[in-house]
Structure 1
Amino acid sequence: MGRLRRSRTHHAQRDVHRAARTRARTRDLDQIQLIDLDPKQNRAALEAQPLDYEKPGLAQHYCVECAKYFETDHALQSHWKSKVHKRRCKALREPAYTIEEAERAAGLGREGKRPTTTATPMEQEMVV
């Protein structure tokens, strides 16, 4: 008698769920665009942070676009040359979605709906 086949169901989903649950999340693109990349105040403050013993590299080596701390300046320099950083910068060049765009994508926009004002049949013929 041979060994019975193990059940193979749901293992992949469980592993993906477990990895997503324990992974440290970084800031989303819209948060970085609207808050961190503001050239007036936030970007300069993030690049010149005071010493913080809780963060990697004492919070002295920070990539604003990726919202990541690095241990050394050399690690930050090599990160700027990496594909991950370049891909993130390319994604940040596109404008952030607005609330109106999100509502239109969900089917809640104003296009395709009747106008709120009532027009007479004569006025409707003139528009068409």
Structure 2
Amino acid sequence: MKRGGILNAQLNAAISGLGHGDLVVVADCGLPLPAGVPVVDLAVVHGLPSFAGVLDALLTDAVFEACTAADESVGTAAGEQIAARFDDVAHVSHDELKALSGRARLLVRTGEATPYANVVLRCGVPF
């Protein structure tokens, strides 16, 4: 039994398999799931688990060197949550973000129902 950190076995295994430069998408429950990208679907009902809660768990467990969000998220509740967690956020159109998600090694679907609560994270290294 793990002492802490991410307890979901599927998510834990997926994170362990990531390498430097790999892309991870943390998505709200409405983002289209790209074909061929492994998905860990955590959504239970609208709002559970939250985008912020899942993002915080990932940030505690893994190293990310970059974050990309949709232009449309700026000035929204989701955009504020993203900006509070990252010093530098790259922005692209929502359509570009959806296209970028097709290159991800992992997509984590949350139960979040807030518009534009999606980020693409690029894995870093702890050294």
Bigger strand fraction: 2
TM-score, scaled to structure 1: 0.21
Bigger helix fraction: 1
Rg comparison, structure with higher value: 1
Bigger relative contact order, structure 1 or 2 (CA pairs below 8 A, ≥6 apart): 2
